A and B are shown apart, each in its own frame.
Chain A
Amino acid sequence: MLMPRISVARWIGGSALLFVLAGCLLPFVGPSRIDWGLVLQRQDPDWSILMDLRLSRTLLGLFAGGALALAGALFQSMLRDALATPYTLGVSTGASLGAVMAIALDWHTVAGVGGIWAGALCGAGVILFVVMGTATRHGQVSSSSLLLAGVAINSVCAALILLVHSFTGISQSFAISRWLIGGLDAVERPTLMLYAGVVACMSLLVVRQARQWNLLAVGEAWAATRGAHVRRALVRGYLAGSVLAAVTVALTGPIGFVGLVVPHLLRKRLGGDDRLLMPCAFLLGGVLLAGCDAIGRTILAPAEIPAGAITAFIGGPHLIWVVRRGGTR
């Protein structure tokens, strides 16, 4: 018996339960009280506050947190780098650059979709090909070449963001700064559905290949001589992780820390087997981000603290505490 299957079922089932509970309960948390009577009669404003604002924001948080945590776990295994995050391979910085340019150029809508969203996706797409092209030599891709290309292009994009930022007017500059902190906002239902669909498909693709990520975590030669197609796995993992990160960044801005901290904390607790780690990272990453956002919108109400700031506030010290306790099993 490889993994005690009962404990696997218990962990994944428990995480899924938390995920669903968070989706049901967190919409009721907020600066203004929801009146049950009005909700049951589907009367505004409480009905629309709950359904259009809070629910969509909670669902965005659940899926965004899940996508970031899963992408982080994937890159940590695939690149054999404990400090890898969804942002390591450059695509999300590319998305940020696209979004920042869209703000700077005052694109409100492009072909019917939000300008920031369109800009972010274009930026991510361009950088995806640049990193892939840079990392490929003689038709070969390795995790080290991907890592190097990603980090290098990351810093170029970050420099370009600073450059664009410094040439914009004061109002756009403020909008850019605000966007770069990252945070959750209510999005329209069709956008949310599309986003959740993309995240769910990509996540299933990634989790299905968990045994392959385990093999790659040991080493590329190890994976290849156990019958895994290393180049194909790396390209697919890179694409799937990048799509997860890019569509998320396009909607929320670069929310830090979820992608680094959640897989790390779980790895300490559950071990590094991606079959258990990845589903739990997705589910609990979502719960963490949606929960942090609920805290952020109530703790200083009517002011809001961006979810990214809360995750860093809670996650950073917690990670230090866990590491110092020396919890390696």
Chain B
Amino acid sequence: MLRLRNVGWRAPAGAEILRDVSLDVAPGEFVAVMGRNGAGKSTLLDIVAGLRGPSEGSATLDGRPLDEWPLRERARALAHLPQMLRADLSIRAEAIVLMGRYPHAARWFESQDDAEIAREAMARCGCLEFRQRSLSTLSGGERQRVYLAACLAQQARVLLLDEPATFLDVDQQLQCFGVVRAEADRGAACLAVTHDVNLALTFCTRLIVLADRGVARDVGVAEALDDPSWLRTFSSRLDLERGPSGSWVRYR
């Protein structure tokens, strides 16, 4: 169980980015973290990942503050996909995915089991076919799938994904969110930053909307479909359309 209580975060220069954020994420949930640019989505994810300590309040996983976890143990429990990752690296895709096995065993070579776990993760993310290729020769979307596979290979209970659908084509966006949803159905707690409201409504179980340095809305998807007023937080040009086969958000 992931728990934030009254969490605030200030930049070293003094600007307040987050204030008084409290939320719980249980196993099996797939939470879309949404909000405008600069609303503090990535900061929130960084705090949950243990990359930044909260300036106020507490962030705990299983009742233990995130900064008190030994790093490897924490990395076995919690995988994080950062927003910007290096593109010009001449390391083979499979070696990148195997980096997800680092917290499990820090030997010089990964084991055969590690290799199988990595292959399975690559197959699920649709990137097994270019496992031998160097990262620098892959397209943006292909690279993103490799990094996502590395997060899956980590076999963590908490998945934190900062805009996982970046650079992905439409089909791959659906694939990606489907894979994460499957992880949630297996019992992982997943948080994904996304700007795509339709993806969020289709695959996620819960929406957290950040605005004015705090949580503006924290609703389940069914509730979000009933009362679409949360869409105003992003833009006045979004409308929820209801049809016989489901609801979707339309641009005006």
Residues on A close to B: CB < 8 A?
1-3, 5, 80, 82, 137-138, 208, 210-211, 214-215, 217-219, 221-222, 224-229, 267-268, 271-273, 275, 328-329
- The minimal Cβ–Cβ distance linking B68 to chain A, given in whole angstroms, is 15
Inter-chain contact B95/A273, CB cutoff 8 Å: yes
- Residues A214 and B99 in contact in the complex (CB < 8 Å), given A225-B79, A228-B71: yes
Among the listed stretches B80-88, B212-220, B233-241, which one makes contact with chain A, having 4 or more residues with CB under 8 Å of it?
B80-88
Inter-chain contact B102/A329, CB cutoff 8 Å: no
B residues in contact with A225, CB < 8 Å: 49-51, 75, 78-80, 82
Inter-chain contact B103/A226, CB cutoff 8 Å: yes
A-B contact pairs, 22 of them (CB 8 A): A1-B112, A2-B94, A2-B95, A2-B109, A2-B110, A2-B115, A80-B86, A82-B88, A214-B99, A218-B85, A219-B86, A221-B51, A221-B80, A222-B99, A224-B50, A225-B82, A226-B75, A227-B103, A268-B90, A275-B109, A328-B134, A328-B136
Nearest to A140 among chain B residues (CB) is B12
Inter-chain contact B75/A218, CB cutoff 8 Å: no
Inter-chain contact B95/A3, CB cutoff 8 Å: yes
Nearest to A211 among chain B residues (CB) is B102
- Residues A226 and B154 in contact in the complex (CB < 8 Å), given A1-B115, A329-B137: yes
Determine the distance from Cα of A272 to Cα of B137 in the docked complex, in whole angstroms: 13
Determine the distance from Cα of A221 to Cα of B51 in the docked complex, in whole angstroms: 7
Nearest to A232 among chain B residues (CB) is B71
- The minimal Cβ–Cβ distance linking B143 to chain A, given in whole angstroms, is 11
Determine the distance from Cα of A80 to Cα of B89 in the docked complex, in whole angstroms: 9
- Residues A271 and B92 in contact in the complex (CB < 8 Å), given A215-B102, A226-B75: yes
A residues in contact with B109, CB < 8 Å: 2-3, 5, 275
- The minimal Cβ–Cβ distance linking A24 to chain B, given in whole angstroms, is 29
Determine the distance from Cα of A5 to Cα of B108 in the docked complex, in whole angstroms: 12
Inter-chain contact A2/B108, CB cutoff 8 Å: no
Determine the distance from Cα of A166 to Cα of B24 in the docked complex, in whole angstroms: 67
Does B124 touch A at the CB level, under 8 Å? no
- The minimal Cβ–Cβ distance linking B45 to chain A, given in whole angstroms, is 10
- Residues A217 and B99 in contact in the complex (CB < 8 Å), given A211-B108, A225-B79, A227-B74: no
B residues in contact with A221, CB < 8 Å: 46, 49, 51, 80, 82
A residues in contact with B112, CB < 8 Å: 1
Inter-chain contact B86/A218, CB cutoff 8 Å: yes
A residues in contact with B51, CB < 8 Å: 221, 224-225
- The minimal Cβ–Cβ distance linking B112 to chain A, given in whole angstroms, is 7
Determine the distance from Cα of A227 to Cα of B91 in the docked complex, in whole angstroms: 20
